[in-house]
Amino acid sequence: MGRIIMLNISGLRKINIYSKLVLTFLIVLLPLNGIALYVSSRGAEHVEKEILTSVQSKMAFYMTTFESEITRTLQSQHSFVSDYDVMNLSTQANFMDQNAKREAILRLQQRLDLLVNTSSFLSHVTMHIPLLERSITDKRVLDSISEDYKSLREYSSRYDAPIVKWNERMFINLIYPPERTIQLEDKAPLFVLTLEIAQSRLQHVLEQLAGSYHGEAFLISNGDIPWTLGSSQNTTISEHLWNEILQTIPLDSVSYITNLKTTDGEYIVAAERSNETGILLAAVIPTQQVMGSLKQYKQWSWLIMSMTIIMIFIFSYGLYRIIHTPLRRLVGAFRIVEKGEFNVTIGHPNEDEFGYLYARFNEMVMQVKRLIQEVYEQKYRLQLSELKQLQSQINPHFLYNSHFSMYYMAKNDDKENLMRFIKYMGDYFQYITRNGSDEMILREEINHAITYANIQEMRFQMRIRFTIVDIPIVVDTILVPRLILQPIVENAYKHGLENKEEAGVLAIRFIVAADRLEIVIEDNADLSENSLVAMHELLSGQNGAGETTGMLNVHRRLQIKYGPTSGLRLARGTMGGLCVSIVIPLAKQEGEEDYASSARC
């Protein structure tokens, strides 16, 4: 009752759709003036991605620098294997005179000093030579083998684990020859080259990496003797958190970054692994330090999203009441019209735009109904007149050539062929001039086409051979428009086979499927690509100047009777000429046999 009263208020009835939409948008969207906060939230997400990308890039840069330095140091270390002075001192020291030995030691010490000065991470370099019973450092020559030698000779650096840790110190250790290990205690190595790494320098680099994010960074090695070096001596990371971090980092990852939520808080964990040395560089950054302000933006975003969802429900309801209901009725009426039902009218209680649309729709349906009836009748009369024109059309060239053929038969006293020819001509003109029903049994259409082909075969004195396969029995039950087959056969002779001097072939075959019958007419005349394209355009209606008889007439009449799935299909045939397939839809009968054929166009 309340709705009826509201609709009867004259003021509301005359408000147009635009005004209603404006009022609805104002009511719904006024609370959403803070929608700009959503944009800020999106910006915060972008900033977060940029921060993570920056952290990852910084990690990759530091790992590349560290890896390059370690690789260069290893290469420099291994160059001592082929050093002339080292080999002499380690193998022939007992046979060298004192001056030569002193000069070799001096040159070796200079090389060791150069190695330390050119490295960012080395603090000391020591060459232990058992035969010489001395250890040579980059600063001085010891009178005896260093105490470190006995322990360090057990640890040999490898490329996959170049740094070994011993007694809280870090070394890159070269034992030569490498086969002499601790298991062969009876034979000492020729020399042991130990490069001590300045842990304070590495820690300083790690502090630079993690300091800008107020976090911590670590170097981790999982070699024979695992070790870890952090940016801070007194790390704030608990053992529990450290275990969670190590479990988070995949063992096969090269570059990795993720957000980790633990009971201790939220952290950004980034890692870079060296393919050359197997050492892992990891950084642990408290999320709050870099993402603290961004979380506020996200909270605002969630709040605005919740408000938006609520407002969408309100807006949708208002839109439904104002626009969607009458629009749905209009769409429903259109769908009824689409089904071909034109006895439909719709009404609208308001005098707004929908009232105008409803009134115009009703008028349109009536007008369309009238026009369809007129167009249908006009098209029917047009097709009927085209058929009559086709029936009454007698090709003068064909008639002249036929009489000329009869003249020669009579002159040569070829009575048998003359009688056959006259019989064919009589049957042909009897069918052409018949004014009975507009539809015929398909078999009669086929017989008429065979008659026409026999006439042409006799005219061309066997230059053109005509063949037709077994005609399926289904053709006795199909009614088709008259003259759908003979115009196609005539087209084959007129535009193709007529110019063949010998060995012309015209073949008709049938393909019966569950849902259609195809009558395939194919010749071996020369067919250019341009001619095939022109015929396609003619049938598709792209060539507006096309003829209204012949193949186009057949195609139109078939589609009017059977729908768009029927008509003519053109292609280049297997014999090289034109292949025309006449498609006639069928309703498959129970127990009917399907004929298969691979010789289609």
Task: Assign residue 230 the CATH number of its domain.
Answer: 3.30.450
Q: What angle do CA 332, 337, 338 make, to 5 degrees?
A: 95
Beta strands in 422-503 (DSSP E): 439-441, 464-468, 479-481
Do 444 and 569 belong to one domain?
A: yes
CA dihedral 299, 300, 301, 306 (to 10 degrees): 90
Element holding 143 (H helix, E strand): none
- The tokens for 97 are 């005179």
277 and 188 co-located in one domain: no
Quote the tokens at residue 199.
Answer: 């842990």
d(CA 26, CA 28): 6
pLDDT digits (tens, 9 = 90+) for 487-514: 899 888 888 888 777 888 999 999 998 8
**Which residues lie closer than 8 Å to 54 by C-beta, 6 or more apart?**
none
- Edge to edge, what strands does the sheet with 578-585 contain? 464-468, 504-512, 516-523, 578-585, 567-572
Whether residue 388 lies inside any domain: the answer is no
Examine the pLDDT at 24 and tell me if it is beyond 70. no
601 in any annotated domain? no
Pair (469, 376) in one structural domain: no
pLDDT at 508: 93
Same domain, 207 and 325: no
Cβ proximity of 164 and 155 under 8 Å:
yes
- Give ∠ CA 180-181-186 in degrees, rounded to 5: 70
3-state SS string for 237-290:
CCHHHHHHHHHHCCCCCCEEEEEEEECCEEEEEEEEECCCCCCEEEEEEEHHHH
What gap in Å lies between CA 193 and CA 250, rounded to an integer? 34
DSSP labels, 191-208: EEEEEEE-HHHHHHHHHH
Backbone angles phi, psi at 354, to 5 degrees: -70, -35
pLDDT for position 568: 92
Q: Give the pLDDT of residue 170.
A: 87
Judged against a pLDDT cut of 80, whether residue 416 lies above it is answered with yes
Mean of the pLDDT values across residues 362-388?
A: 71
- Identify the domain boundary among 292, 326, 350: 292
Greater pLDDT, 376 or 573 = 573
Does residue 443 lie within any of the structural domains?
yes
Give the side-chain half-sphere CA count within 13 A for 52: 17
**Distance of CA 351 to CAs 3, 7, 173, 322, 323, Å?**
16, 10, 96, 13, 14
Question: What mean pLDDT is predicted for residues 65-79?
Answer: 86
Phi, psi (degrees; rounded to nearest 5) at 458: -75, -35
Residues 533 and 397 in one domain: yes
277 and 353 inside one domain: no
Give the integer Cα–Cα distance in Å for 293 and 51: 13
Look at 145 and 309; give whichever has higher pLDDT: 145
Its pTM stands at 0.45
Give 595's pLDDT tier (boundaries 50, 70, 90): very low
Q: How far is CA 565 from the centre of its chain?
A: 32
Higher pLDDT: 432 or 21? It is 432
Q: Are residues 332 and 360 in the same domain?
A: no
Q: How many structural domains compose the chain? A: 5
Neighbours of 206 (CB within 10 A): 23
Averaged pLDDT score across all residues of the chain: 78
432: helix, strand or coil: helix
Distance CA 73, CA 256 (A): 27
pLDDT value, residue 389: 55
Cα separation, 558 vs 583, in Å, equals 8
Whole-number pLDDT of residue 21: 60
- The answer to whether residue 563 sits within a structural domain is yes
Q: Is the pLDDT of residue 411 over 90?
A: no
Find the CATH number of the domain harbouring 511.
3.30.565.10
- Classify residue 595: in a domain, yes or no: no
- Is residue 311 domain-resident? yes
Contacts of 34 (CB under 8 A, 6+ apart): 304, 307
Q: What is the pLDDT of residues 533-544, one digit of tens each?
A: 888 888 877 665
Q: Tokens 């259109």 identify what position?
A: 334
567 beta partners:
583
8 Å CB contact between 483 and 513: no
What pLDDT, in 10s, does the model give residues 202-260?
888 888 887 777 788 888 887 767 888 887 766 667 666 777 777 777 766 778 888 88
CA distance 457 to 471: 20
Give 52 or 583, the one with higher predicted confidence.
583
Q: Report residue 396 CA to chain centroid gap.
A: 60
* Same-domain check for residues 278 and 308: no
Question: How confident is the model at residue 412, as a pLDDT?
Answer: 82
The string over 419-454, giving b where at least 16 C-beta atoms fall within 10 Å of a residue's C-beta and e elsewhere, is eebeebbebbeebbeeeeebebebbbbbbbbbbbbb
For residue 146, is it within any domain? yes
Is 374 found in the same domain as 320?
no
The H or E element spanning position 332 is helix 325-338
* CA separation for the pair 396, 427 (Å, rounded): 18
- Segment 148-164, tens digit of pLDDT: 787 777 777 776 778 88
Residues 155 and 55 in one domain: yes
Two tokens, residue 91: 């193998």
Asked if 423 and 565 sit in the same domain, the reply is yes
Asked if residue 593 belongs to a domain, the reply is no
Q: Please say which residue of 174, 197, 220 terminates a domain.
A: 197
Which residues, in sequence order, are CB contacts of 575 under 8 Å at separation 6+? 505, 507, 522, 523, 524
Task: Show the domain range for 361.
Answer: 340-380
Place of tokens 């012309």: 504
Q: 250 with 326, same domain?
A: no
Q: How far apart are CA 195 and CA 558, in angstroms?
A: 95
Query: Is a pLDDT exceeding 80 seen at residue 173?
Result: yes
